[in-house]
């Protein structure tokens, strides 16, 4: 059987599949050429990340496809229901990247509260001539300990964010439409563990009380954070979006930053990927990364092996 890993797969995943007799093709095929490539090579399974779109038209045009795999959590780039109705297996790896995304959330948070996103821009340019001025400008950072973090969407990634926040001594305020509470178990290096139950709060309470807000929800029909939600936030709040582009109204965000309602924001995802709005790219109050939440060596390895084990079970066993 032939598997096209169009957005890549870890070597551990390749090895696991090849050991079971699968042929793994890691050639990156452009979206417009995908239909011809799949049909020409009689591809049995296609693995994607967020870059490749698997829509109804492609599914109809490629009858050899038996399985679609998404390396990661969100599957908004795949017509999942339609594929399943056509008898195609659709899989993803919801656990594999949770820790990596959560760590990136705190990379943005730590950077912003100590102005690293700004000082890293200015020190190379003016560190030799304005050292004392820059020291004074960036000497009013704050600590995360004792602050409140609001987590919108309390699935696997949101709960990983909560674990790290609790470990830092932060108070967690969580909101999720599908949960009333969730046990958060923190494992320590020596084998000990503690479990803390987090009760869900309503969204208004979260918006009003949080010092920092982090989003972990799939794409919605409307913005989760727009102008009205921003008005309910504390003045000086910090916002992180490492979920999906389109859950935050980016223009409302820019206006809120200009009015000092939001102090700073960290964005890993954008409404217009791969061409983010220039207002975002040029704003000094934004900490920006190019959609790398799940892109760690460890997460990619877990994603590859998890995809491989599911494929082997579904297509061979």
Kindly write down the DSSP assignment for every residue of 198-240, as one continuous string. EEB--HHHHHHH-SEEEE-----SS-SB-HHHHHHSPTTEEEE
Residue 317 has pLDDT above 70, yes or no: no
Q: Cβ(281)–Cβ(65) under 8 Å?
A: no
> Is residue 50 pLDDT above 90, yes or no?
no
At residue 51, the pLDDT reads: 87
Segment 286-297 shows an average pLDDT of 95
Looking at the fold, whether 41 and 131 belong to one and the same domain comes out as: no
Residues 249 and 194 in one domain: yes
Identify whether residues 283 and 304 lie together within a single domain.
no
Q: What is the mean pLDDT of residues 17-42?
A: 97
From the list 266, 268, 248, the residue with the least C-alpha distance to 112 is: 266
Q: Which of 20, 122, 273, 277 is catalytic?
A: 273
273 plus 163 within the same structural domain: yes
Q: Which residues lie below 8 Å from residue 41, measured CB to CB, with a gap of 6+?
A: 2, 4, 25
66 and 21 share a domain?
yes
- Please give the pLDDT value at position 219: 87
DSSP 31: G
The answer to whether 311 touches 13, Cβ cutoff 8 Å, is no
Which pLDDT band holds residue 21 (cuts at 50, 70, 90)? Answer: very high
Are residues 67 and 124 located together in one domain of the fold? Answer: no
Q: What is the mean pLDDT of the chain?
A: 96
Domains of the chain: total? 2
Same domain, 165 and 57: no
pLDDT above 70 (res 198): yes
Mean pLDDT of 89-101: 94
Q: Verify that 38 and 150 share a domain, yes or no.
A: no
Range of lowest pLDDT (67-76, 108-117, 153-162, 204-213): 67-76
Residues 34 and 156 in one domain: no
Q: Which domain holds residue 150?
A: 98-288
Same domain as 259, residue 153: yes
Question: What pLDDT score does 30 carry?
Answer: 96
Tokens for 206, please give them: 């979260």
pLDDT band at 226 (very low <50, low <70, confident <90, very high): very high
State the average pLDDT over residues 254-260. Answer: 97
User: What value, to the nearest 5°, has the Cα angle with vertex 218 and ends 215 and 223?
Assistant: 70
Q: Are 261 and 233 in contact (CB under 8 A)?
A: yes
CATH of the domain at 191: 3.40.50.720
CB burial readout 175-187, b (16+ within 10 A) else e: bbeebeebebeee
Residues with Cβ within 8 Å of residue 82, at least 6 apart in sequence: 56, 59
Mean pLDDT within 175-188 = 97
Active-site residue, 130 included = no
62 and 156 belong to one structural domain: no
Is 80 exceeded by the pLDDT of residue 297?
yes
Share of the chain above pLDDT 70, in %: 100
Identify the pLDDT of residue 73: 84
Per-residue confidence at 313, pLDDT binned at 50, 70, 90? very high
- The pLDDT, as a whole number, for residue 72 is 87
- Which of 70, 216, 291, 302 is flagged as catalytic? 291
DSSP SS3 for 68: strand
Q: Which one is catalytic: 244, 250, 302, 306?
A: 244
Give the per-residue pLDDT at 94: 86
Average pLDDT over residues 229-247: 97
186 lies in the same domain as 133:
yes
Q: Is 273 a catalytic residue?
A: yes
Residue 41 pLDDT exceeds 90: yes
Contact 170, 148 (CB under 8 A): yes
Give the mean pLDDT of 31-39: 97
Active site (annotated) includes residue 216 = no
Residue 45 — very low, low, confident or very high, per pLDDT cuts 50/70/90? very high
């Amino acid at each position: 059987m032939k598997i096209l890993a169009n957005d890549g797969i870890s070597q551990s995943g390749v090895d696991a599949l090849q050991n079971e007799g699968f042929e793994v093709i890691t050639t990156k095929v452009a979206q417009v050429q995908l239909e011809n490539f799949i049909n020409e090579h009689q591809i049995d399974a296609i693995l994607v990340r967020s870059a490749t779109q698997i829509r109804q038209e492609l599914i109809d045009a490629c009858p050899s496809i038996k399985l679609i795999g998404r390396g990661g959590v969100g599957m908004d780039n795949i017509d999942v229901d339609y594929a399943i109705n056509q008898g195609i297996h659709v899989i993803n790896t919801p656990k594999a990247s949770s820790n990596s995304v959560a760590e990136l959330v705190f990379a943005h948070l730590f950077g912003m509260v100590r102005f690293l996103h700004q000082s890293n821009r200015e020190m190379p340019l003016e560190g030799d001539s304005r050292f004392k001025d820059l020291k004074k400008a960036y000497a009013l950072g704050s600590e995360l300990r004792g602050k409140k973090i609001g987590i919108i969407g309390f699935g696997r990634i949101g709960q990983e964010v909560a674990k790290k926040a609790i470990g830092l001594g932060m108070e967690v305020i969580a909101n999720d439409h599908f949960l009333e509470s969730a046990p958060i178990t923190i494992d320590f290096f020596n084998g000990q563990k503690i479990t803390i139950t987090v009760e869900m709060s309503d969204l208004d309470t979260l918006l009003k009380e949080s010092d920092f807000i982090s989003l972990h929800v799939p794409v919605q029909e409307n913005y989760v954070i727009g102008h009205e939600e921003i008005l309910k936030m504390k003045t000086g709040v910090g916002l992180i979006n490492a979920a999906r582009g389109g859950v935050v109204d980016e223009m409302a965000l820019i206006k809120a930053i200009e009015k000092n309602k939001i102090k700073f924001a960290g964005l890993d995802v954008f409404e217009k990927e791969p061409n983010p709005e220039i207002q975002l790219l040029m704003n000094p109050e934004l900490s920006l990364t190019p959609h790398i939440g799940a892109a760690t060596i460890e997460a990619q390895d877990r994603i590859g092996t998890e995809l491989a084990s599911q494929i082997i079970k579904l297509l061979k066993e």
